[in-house]
Every structure is written in structure tokens, then in C-alpha cells.
Amino acid sequence: MSLAVTAAGEATRDRILRLADALFAEHGYARVSMRLVATASGVTKPALYYHFRNKDALFEECVLATQKHMGEMLREAAASAGSLEERVTAVAQILLTGSPHHPVLIQNDVAEHLPAEVRERLDQGFQDNVIAPLAGLFAEAGARGELRPEVTDEVAATSILGVCMAFLPVAPPGAAGPVAAPSAGVIADVVLHGVSGRPTEP
């Protein structure tokens, strides 16, 4: 097989993944058919099945690619220069805006539609690419004495993840528009310092 043919095949596969990812993000797993993906990608169904054996395999690759991209961004933000609050603000911004997919909706689709072995791989991908970078950031902060001793890195990681997920835009049919998300800086401040007023210095 020539390099040109191989490159063309890879370009087609990348285009399918990119367009399928957008469709899954907009409509969810159940409302996206392989026919719809083929039409959006400008390929025949046989060509689509040449690259992806079924919709489960296509969806899994889309989710894994999203997880890996998030992991790269989160690790870069966690390792950046600056104070703990600046780095937590940076990771909060990524969690709020870094992916078109809502992690809760992905989790629902995975749990409802995919077989156990795929669920396990995607759960591991989430742990490796989302939870681990966040936990690593807070583990370093804890080692420097910047967290209360009783706050583990896992608790801190799930706290910022939970707060950010609560403000990701999801509007079910018939629901009012999403609540406006606070800034990443406000989320970082709440996660690190809580919601109570800080006493003024005497």
C-alpha cells in the first residue's frame, strides 16, 4: 500500500472521528446512527464500517480522544508556574470549557448503551486523564502544606470536578436555559476557601 493511500485513509478516518464526535456531543449516543455519521462525513456506509466495526467502537474512540485531550490540557495547567489558586483556576477553566461533551451525559450514555468491557476502558480513561491530573495537583499542594491535613487529594479533585460539572450547560427538553456559570476564578476560590466570609484582620 502506498504512502499516499495510507495518508488518505488516515485523513478519512480522522474526518469521521471529528464529525462523529460533534454529532455525539450534540445529540447523544442514541440519536446518532451510522448512516447519519456516514452522510455527515461524506463516505459510504461500507467505507465507514471499514474504519469502525460498529457504533460502539466509534463512540468509544470519540470518548477516549476527548479524555486524552482533556488529560493533556489538565496536566499542562497543573504543572504550570504560579500559585495554587492560579493553577486551580486554570484547571477549572479547562473543566468548564475544554470539551463539547458533558461528562455526566457521556457517563449516562456509556452506562446505558455500551458493554461492560467498553465501560471499563472508558472509566479507566476518565480516571487516568481527568481524576489523576487533578489529584496530582492537590497531592503536590498537600505535600507543601497548602491543604488542610484531613483533605485528601481525591476529595479535593472530586470537589472541583463536581462544582464545575454543576455549571456545565445542559438544558433538557422543556427546561429553562442553563444557569450562568461563575468564572473559573470564583470556582477556584470556593474550592480552596469555601463559601463563608473570611474574617477581617483586627
Q: Residue 3 above 50 pLDDT? A: no
Residue 196 pLDDT = 75
The DSSP symbol for 62 reads H
**Mean pLDDT score, 109-123:** 95
pLDDT for position 198: 59
- ∠ CA 103-124-191, nearest 5°, is 50
Q: Lowest mean pLDDT of 96-100, 159-163, 180-184, name the range.
A: 180-184
Of the pLDDT bands very low, low, confident and very high (cuts 50, 70, 90), residue 112 is: very high
Return the residue matching grid coordinates 474574617. Answer: 199
pTM assigned to the model: 0.85
124 within 8 A of 67, measured Cβ to Cβ:
no
**Separation between Cα atoms, residue 197 and residue 202, nearest integer Å:** 15
Residue limits of CATH 1.10.10.60 in the chain: 1-52
- Contact predicate 66/74, CB 8 Å: no
For position 103, what pLDDT does the model report? 84
DSSP letter at 95 equals: H
Q: Provide the total of helices (H) and of strands (E) in the chain, helices listed first.
A: 10, 0
> Does residue 148 sit in helix, strand or coil?
coil
CB 117 within 8 A of CB 34: no
Q: CATH assignment of 55-193, given 1.10.10.10, 1.10.357.10, 2.60.320.10, 3.60.15.10?
A: 1.10.357.10
pLDDT recorded at residue 40: 96
**Mind listing the pLDDT tens digit for each residue in 77-107?**
999 999 999 999 999 999 999 888 888 889 8
**How far is residue 100's CA from residue 142's CA, in Å, rounded to a whole number?**
31
Q: What pLDDT is attached to residue 166?
A: 85
89 contacts 184 by C-beta, under 8 angstroms: yes
Domain with CATH 1.10.357.10 in the chain: 55-193
Report the pLDDT averaged over residues 43-61.
Answer: 96
Domain boundaries 1-52, corresponding CATH code: 1.10.10.60
Which of 49-58, 85-94, 95-104, 111-120 shows the lowest per-residue confidence on average (mean pLDDT)?
A: 95-104
102-106, 136-140, 175-179: which has the minimum mean pLDDT?
Answer: 175-179
- CA 21/CA 39 separation, integer angstroms: 14
Is pLDDT above 60 for 113?
A: yes
